[in-house]
C-alpha cells in the first residue's frame, strides 16, 4: 500500500488531496437521494467550468477514460464511415482500434516517435473529402507527445469533418477551452490532471456532435456507451440509467471544487511551470526528453535513461529509497525510458524532490554527478 507520505508521480492515477480522500471516505449514500443528485448536478456545472464549455453538453459517466473514447466512437460512427485517426502513441492506436471495432474504415497517420502530427499531412488527407470523423489524442501518455488541438480542430472544421479529441491526459492540466476551440467532442478521465480517483469519464459534446448522433441511419450498437441514452440523465440526474460509482463521484466532485478554487488559468500556468522545470532538470543531466521541442506536454514527460542503465532499476531505487513512484517507458521502451506524471496536485516541491532523488538514483549506476538538475529547475519554479 502506498504511504500517504510517498509521491505518486506515475502518469495517472495521481496523488489525491486529503479533501478528496475524506470525501470518498463518507458513509455509503444512496445514488437516488436528493443529496447525490444535487452533488452530481453541481459536478456537471463544475465540469463546464473545467472544459471552458458554455455552448455544449456535459457528460460524466462511471467508467474509465476508455469508456469515454468508446462511447464517442460507437455513438458517432456508423458501419462503413471513414475515419482519419492520428496516432502519436499507444492511445492514438487504441482510438483507431475502437473505431474499427465499431465498423469504421480507419486511415491512420502514425507519427514518427516523439513528434506531434504534421498538420499539412492532416489537411491534405481531409481535403480528400471522404472522412466523417477525425480522431486524435491531445497528450499521448505513452510518448508524452502533445498535439495542437486548436490547429487540428480548425483543419477538421474547414473540411466539414467532426473532430474528437482524447484529452485523458490533458484536461485540467494542459490549456484547453472547449468553446474557443470548437472541437466536437473532448473527453477525459478523472484520474490524471483532475486529480480525482480513477473511475469516471467526462465529456464535452458540441450541439453538432449530438445532432449527428440523433440523425444516424442505424441504431447505436451499445447500451451502456450510447451517449443519447445518457443525455436525459445529464439533463436530470434524478433519472436512473445505471448505478454510478457513488464514492468515485464524491471524490470527483471535491476535486472539481478544488480546481475551481485554484482557478483554471492558474492551474494551467502551474502545470506549464512545473513541466518546463522538470524537462529543464532532465536535460541539465544530459538526458534526452522523448518529445521534440514543439511536442512537449505540461502534464507528463517521457525521457531516456543514460546508456548502460536500466529504467526498471532506477524506478525501483526511486520507490524503495525515496518513496517516489514513477513509470517505466511504454511497451518496448520499458528498459530505456522513464515516464513521469507531473499533474493534478504536483507542486514545485514535488518536482525538486523527484529531480534530487533521480540524480542520486542515477549517480549509483551512471557517471551523472548529482546537483545539476535541481540547480537548473529551481529558478524556473520560482513564481
Which residues would be at the binding site for ligand PLP (CB under 6 A)?
A: 12, 64-66, 91, 137, 140-141, 166, 168-169, 189
Query: At its nearest, how many Å lie between ligand PLP and the CB of residue 166?
Result: 5
Cell of 126: 481531409
Q: Which is nearer to ligand PLP, 66 or 365 (CB)?
A: 66
Q: Which is nearer to ligand PLP, 72 or 206 (CB)?
A: 72
Q: Is the dihedral of CA 20, 26, 28, 30 positive or negative?
A: negative
Query: At its nearest, how many Å lie between ligand PLP and the CB of residue 198?
Result: 6
Q: Which is nearer to ligand PLP, 189 or 251 (CB)?
A: 189
Query: At its nearest, how many Å lie between ligand PLP and the CB of residue 163?
Result: 16
Q: Which is nearer to ligand PLP, 75 or 357 (CB)?
A: 75
Q: Which is nearer to ligand PLP, 70 or 359 (CB)?
A: 70
Which residue lies nearest ligand PLP, judged by its C-beta? 65
Q: How far apart are CA 207 and CA 25, in angstroms?
A: 37
Radius of gyration of the chain (CA): 21
Query: At its nearest, how many Å lie between ligand PLP and the CB of residue 128?
Result: 27
Query: At its nearest, how many Å lie between ligand PLP and the CB of residue 172?
Result: 13
| Maximum Cα–Cα distance across the chain | 64
Q: Which is nearer to ligand PLP, 94 or 253 (CB)?
A: 94
Query: At its nearest, how many Å lie between ligand PLP and the CB of residue 341?
Result: 9
Amino acid at each position: 500500500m502506498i504511504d500517504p507520505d510517498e509521491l505518486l508521480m506515475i502518469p495517472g492515477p495521481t496523488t489525491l488531496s486529503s479533501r478528496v480522500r475524506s470525501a470518498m471516505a463518507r458513509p455509503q449514500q444512496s445514488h437516488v437521494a436528493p443529496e447525490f443528485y444535487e452533488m452530481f448536478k453541481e459536478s456537471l456545472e463544475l465540469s463546464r467550468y473545467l472544459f471552458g464549455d458554455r455552448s455544449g453538453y456535459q457528460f460524466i459517466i462511471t467508467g474509465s477514460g476508455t469508456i469515454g473514447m468508446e462511447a464517442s466512437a460507437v455513438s458517432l460512427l456508423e458501419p462503413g464511415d471513414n475515419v482519419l485517426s492520428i496516432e502519436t502513441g499507444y492511445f492514438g492506436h487504441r482510438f483507431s482500434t475502437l473505431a474499427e471495432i465499431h465498423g469504421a474504415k480507419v486511415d491512420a497517420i502514425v507519427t514518427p516517435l516523439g513528434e506531434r502530427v504534421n498538420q499539412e499531412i492532416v489537411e491534405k488527407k481531409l481535403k480528400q473529402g471522404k472522412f466523417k470523423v477525425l480522431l486524435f489524442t491531445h497528450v499521448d501518455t505513452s510518448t508524452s507527445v502533445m498535439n495542437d488541438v486548436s490547429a487540428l480542430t480548425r483543419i477538421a472544421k474547414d473540411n466539414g469533418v467532426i473532430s474528437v479529441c482524447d484529452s485523458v491526459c490533458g484536461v485540467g492540466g494542459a490549456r484547453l477551452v472547449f468553446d474557443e476551440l470548437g472541437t466536437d467532442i473532448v473527453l477525459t478521465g478523472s484520474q490524471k490532471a483532475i486529480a480525482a480517483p480513477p473511475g469516471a469519464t467526462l465529456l464535452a459534446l458540441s450541439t453538432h456532435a449530438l445532432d449527428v448522433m440523433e440523425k444516424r441511419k442505424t441504431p447505436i450498437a451499445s447500451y451502456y456507451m450510447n451517449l443519447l441514452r445518457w443525455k436525459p440523465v445529464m439533463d436530470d440526474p434524478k433519472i436512473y440509467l445505471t448505478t454510478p460509482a457513488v464514492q468515485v463521484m464524491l471524490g470527483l466532485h471535491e476535486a472539481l471544487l478544488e480546481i475551481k478554487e485554484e482557478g483554471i488559468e492558474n492551474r494551467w500556468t502551474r502545470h506549464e511551470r512545473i513541466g518546463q522545470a522538470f524537462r529543464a532538470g532532465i536535460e541539465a543531466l544530459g538526458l534526452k526528453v522523448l518529445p521534440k521541442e514543439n511536442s512537449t506536454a505540461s502534464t507528463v514527460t517521457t525521457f531516456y535513461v543514460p546508456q548502460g542503465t536500466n529504467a526498471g532499476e532506477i524506478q525501483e531505487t526511486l520507490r524503495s529509497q525515496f518513496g517516489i513512484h514513477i513509470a517505466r517507458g511504454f511497451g518496448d521502451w520499458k528498459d530505456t525510458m522513464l515516464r513521469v506524471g507531473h499533474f493534478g496536485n504536483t507542486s514545485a516541491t514535488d518536482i525538486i524532490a523527484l529531480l534530487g532523488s533521480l540524480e542520486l538514483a542515477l549517480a549509483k549506476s551512471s557517471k551523472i554527478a548529482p546537483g545539476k538538475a535541481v540547480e537548473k529547475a529551481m529558478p524556473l519554479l520560482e513564481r
